[in-house]
Structure 1
Amino acid sequence: MSARIEGAVRSPADVYDDQFVPALFRHWGPVVCDAAKITAGQRVLDVACGTGALTVAVAGRVWPGGAALGLDANPEMLAVAQRKHPDIEWHRGCAESLPFADAEFDAVVSQFGLMFFDDRVAALREMQRVLRPGGRLVVAVCDALERSPGYAALAALLERLFGKTVADAFRAPFVLGDAAALRALCVAADIADATVVQCHGTVRFASIDLLVSTERACVWTLGGQLDATQFELLREEAQGALLPFVDAGGMVSFAMPALLITAVKR
């Protein structure tokens, strides 16, 4: 599947890297690295690395003398990561069965991937397994949809226009936005003394059209859900639904906080 954004045909992985990374994800790299206390010389794994936004931030902390490794199950995402950052070590694999030895890493990090894993408890266990004693695990997920008002408005619009199935596909990234549920996952994965804290974040797109077009191109949420006629209707209706989040220059911005799981391996 490919998408036409601003006149150019791009793969979903390119859309993700060109639009989602700067709008949503890039600014989280330093936050996660700070929480993991990543320093020069460490060996660090980024699980579900996508096109490498967090991995690049990790590399900037561990070099020289350290190693930043990115792992993802999606070959298209890894191809973009490899093309843009050939000096980083990239691996294809799933979070539930990491292809690494026990206690291999000083820190294991993951941002905005846990909610899409087939077996979240198994993935957390694996991240803990490859972490050395005293090493830090940090996993970021999207907070609840109601705390991201622009996306909540878009979800409500999708349900009004196209029904619950389409709206729920869009809501999928927000399903783990509950601190108690995250702590329960950690307990089930035998991760002791995990903490969950909320961190502030902001979504920024240059226009409503760009936000809607980018979301439609995302294969993990709205991709394939809307035909051309439905998309045009969504784009028209979004002009009103998202207007409260637009500034004088047309920029769309609103809060999108994250929840960070942090644990130190005993």
Structure 2
Amino acid sequence: MNRAEQETFQLTAELAEAYEAWFVPGFFAQWAPHLLDGAGVAAGQRVLDVGCGTGIVARTAAERVGSTGTVAGVDLNEAMLAVARRVAPELQWRQGDAGALPFDPASFDVVLSQMAMMFFPEPAAALREMRRVVRPGGTVGVLVPGSLATNPPYELFVDVVTRNAGEEARRLVTSYFALGDLDGLTGLLTDAGLDVTATGSPVGEFRYDSIDQLVGVELDSTPLGGRLEPGVREAILADCQNALAGYLTSTGEVLFPFESRLVIATK
């Protein structure tokens, strides 16, 4: 896919609040320790969270750097930042483009980005900016979803969506996995002038109350949710009831593993 065609999935205030209330505790919070551990975030450091969303990585980093450190978060979406400011007003939140970070060179000891880079129109430019604002010898850490092939439940979901809504729908629901090739992601950091020191593929989990909830959340968290023709949503749900039945727990919840990609580098 041409990165210029990548949708940025900008959220409304209502969706940003829902993201913090549901997605953060249900999915995103579990990845922050992987990223912070890999990057060696410690007391006294200056940390930047790029594409911070509502700020789970920044908040978790703040607990580690303590009163002697500083943490900032930057995001393009003001709705996300409004939630971040409400939840953690003591941290620094800035509106800005990942491809033109609003910070001076060498401003941070550690620069991180979690589950966001696949939505940046120009990931390579964002990595060059992350390198610019980290100090010499500092650390850059990136975590993104793994490839679609390494996340079979999502592959089943994507197949159902494609069968019922077409190839354009497939493009929208596979955007999450655009940077899931570990070699390719590592190459992006190397090309940005960073020295890769560690890579990994941490595995977490995703849980939904039901298949109905899974379908609703996955469709409506992308622009696809508002573009479906009449009857298509119902057809997708019916197909998913069969395709994803193997991931149902005894209580009717949906639970499946989720693989990510982690790359740590230094300047």
Tell me the TM-score normalised to structure 1 length.
Answer: 0.91
Work out whether residues 47 and 71 of structure 1, in 8 Å CA contact, stay in contact via their aligned partners in 2.
yes
Query: Amino acid of the residue matched to residue 165 of structure 1?
Result: E
Alpha-carbon RMSD:
2.1
Query: Amino acid of the residue matched to residue 47 of structure 2?
Result: V
Work out whether residues 196 and 263 of structure 2, in 8 Å CA contact, stay in contact via their aligned partners in 1.
no
Query: Amino acid of the residue matched to residue 126 of structure 1?
Result: E
Query: Amino acid of the residue matched to residue 86 of structure 1?
Result: P
Work out whether residues 142 and 173 of structure 1, in 8 Å CA contact, stay in contact via their aligned partners in 2.
yes
| 2:169 aligned with 1:175 | no
Aligned to 1:229: 231
| 2:140 aligned with 1:104 | no
Work out whether residues 50 and 111 of structure 2, in 8 Å CA contact, stay in contact via their aligned partners in 1.
yes
Aligned to 1:262: 264
Aligned to 1:146: 149
Structure 1 portions without partners, runs of 5+: 4-8
Identity of aligned residues (%): 38
Query: Amino acid of the residue matched to residue 99 of structure 1?
Result: P
Work out whether residues 201 and 256 of structure 1, in 8 Å CA contact, stay in contact via their aligned partners in 2.
yes
CA distance in 2, matches of 1:20, 1:222: 18
SS at match of 2:68: coil
Residues 130 and 85 of structure 1: CA distance in aligned 2, closer, same or farther (over 3 Å): same
CA distance in 1, matches of 2:21, 2:224: 17
SS at match of 1:222: helix
| 2:253 aligned with 1:251 | yes
- In the alignment, which of 61, 70, 77 is matched to residue 80 of structure 2? 77
SS at match of 1:249: coil
Aligned to 2:5: none
| 2:241 aligned with 1:239 | yes
Shift of 1:55: 1.2
Aligned to 1:50: 53
Query: Amino acid of the residue matched to residue 32 of structure 2?
Result: G
Shift of 1:228: 5.6
- Deviations 1:46-69 (CA, angstroms, capped at 9, x unpaired): 000011111111111112221111
CA distance in 2, matches of 1:101, 1:223: 39
- Deviations 1:64-88 (CA, angstroms, capped at 9, x unpaired): 2211111100011111111222122
Query: Amino acid of the residue matched to residue 215 of structure 1?
Result: E
Aligned to 1:6: none
Aligned to 2:4: none
Aligned to 1:197: 200
Tell me the number of residue pairs that the alignment of Structure 1 and Structure 2 aligns.
259
- In the alignment, which of 3, 21, 25 is matched to residue 22 of structure 1? 25
41-50 vs 175-184, which moves further: 175-184
Residues 33 and 228 of structure 1: CA distance in aligned 2, closer, same or farther (over 3 Å): farther
CA distance in 2, matches of 1:161, 1:10: 30
Work out whether residues 140 and 265 of structure 2, in 8 Å CA contact, stay in contact via their aligned partners in 1.
yes
Residues 240 and 217 of structure 1: CA distance in aligned 2, closer, same or farther (over 3 Å): same
Aligned to 1:165: 168
- Deviations 1:232-259 (CA, angstroms, capped at 9, x unpaired): 3222322112111110011211111111
Shift of 1:145: 0.7
CA distance in 1, matches of 2:105, 2:150: 37
Work out whether residues 144 and 178 of structure 1, in 8 Å CA contact, stay in contact via their aligned partners in 2.
yes
Shift of 1:176: 0.9
CA distance in 2, matches of 1:213, 1:99: 36
CA distance in 2, matches of 1:214, 1:18: 13
Query: Amino acid of the residue matched to residue 109 of structure 2?
Result: D
